[in-house]
Amino acid sequence: MGDESEQARPGAHVSEQWAGWRAAIDLAEYEARFTHDTAHGEADCLASLHPRSVLDAGCGTGRVAVELHRRGIDVVGADLDDDLLQYARRKAPGVTWVHADLATMRLGRTFHVVAMPGNVMLFCRPADRPAVVASCAAHLDPDGLLVAGFSLRGVAGELTLDEYDAAATAAGLTLVQRWATWERTPFAGGDYAVSVHGAAT
Ligand SMILES: C[S@@+](CC[C@H](N)C(=O)[O-])C[C@H]1O[C@@H](n2cnc3c(N)ncnc32)[C@H](O)[C@@H]1O
């Protein structure tokens, strides 16, 4: 996928923001540090929603999806960076891992929860953000929830909550809950937010 310069710059086919992250990180070292043991905050939060199924949208190396799978939850992981997906496949061959662009994916099924932990919204192409939200919304069960956590400090391409909520509204979703952390601290402004949207009624 991509032209020669993209192949020379890992992650450039995902976004400039993601290529910057990839350039600064040794994947093997990252993987050694960020195992599913570091995913319990996100996994606890997602599990507290009692999901019938979860799409980990932008799953990376499977940090969160592997932990959800370990807890017996029906989970699928999707990501556009095959280098990271390879780690995920190795760790949990029993999980369905899909190489897909969140902005255009058509997975042929829906999920009770579509989750985007780990700043996925900041690492996708800024112009594609509304399409990513719309595509995630299209993969929700009628009573499904879209859960996204991202930094508000402007790392890797700023995204405001107003912009994110506008994309959700355009996708037919409404805000159900907003926390400051994956431990579900109430949101009262601050540097990070976990937003939960469901179908607007
Ligand atoms: C910081 S990583 C987070 C990975 C994982 N969610 C976690 O919390 O460990 C951001 C991920 O978003 C993925 N991503 C960004 N834009 C994407 C897109 N349009 N389609 C699929 N994956 C995308 C990147 O490839 C990367 O794996």
| CA Rg value for the chain | 16
Our answer on whether the CB atom of 115 is closer than 6 Å to any ligand 1 atom is no
Q: Which CATH number do you get for residue 89?
A: 3.40.50.150
Ligand 1: distance of its center to the CA of 160 in Å? 18
- At position 42, the amino acid (one-letter code) is E
Cβ 31 under 6 angstroms from ligand 1: no
Residues ≥6 apart with Cβ < 8 Å to 113 = 46, 49, 51, 53, 54, 55, 144, 145, 146, 147
- CA–centroid distance, 60 to ligand 1, in Å, is 5
**What range does the domain containing 107 cover?**
4-199
pLDDT at 8: 79
Atom of ligand 1 nearest to the CA of 60: 27
pLDDT at res. 153: 84
73 touches ligand 1 (CB under 6 Å): no
Does residue 51 have its Cβ closer than 6 Å to ligand 1? no
For residue 1, what pLDDT is reported? 45
pLDDT, position 201:
79
Looking at residue 32, its pLDDT comes to 84
Atom 16 of ligand 1, residue of closest alpha carbon? 124
Q: Is 171 in the pocket of ligand 1 (CB under 6 A)?
A: no
Nearest CA to ligand 1 atom 9: 63
CA–CA separation, 129 and 102 (whole Å): 9
State the distance from the centre of ligand 1 to the C-alpha of 184, rounded, in angstroms: 22
Question: Which atom in ligand 1 lies closest to the alpha carbon of residue 128?
Answer: 19
- Number of structural domains (the chain) is 1
Instruction: Determine the pLDDT at residue 2.
Output: 47
pLDDT at 5: 52
**In the sheet that 140-151 helps form, which strands lie side by side, from edge to edge?**
96-99, 75-79, 54-57, 111-116, 140-151, 192-199, 173-179
Task: Spell out the per-residue pLDDT of the chain, length 201, in tens.
Answer: 445 555 579 999 999 999 999 999 999 998 888 765 677 899 999 999 999 999 999 999 999 999 999 999 999 999 999 999 999 999 999 999 999 999 999 999 999 999 999 999 999 999 999 999 999 999 999 999 999 999 998 666 689 999 999 999 999 999 999 999 999 999 999 999 999 999 987
**CA nearest ligand 1 atom 26, residue:** 60
* 113 Cβ inside 6 Å of ligand 1: no
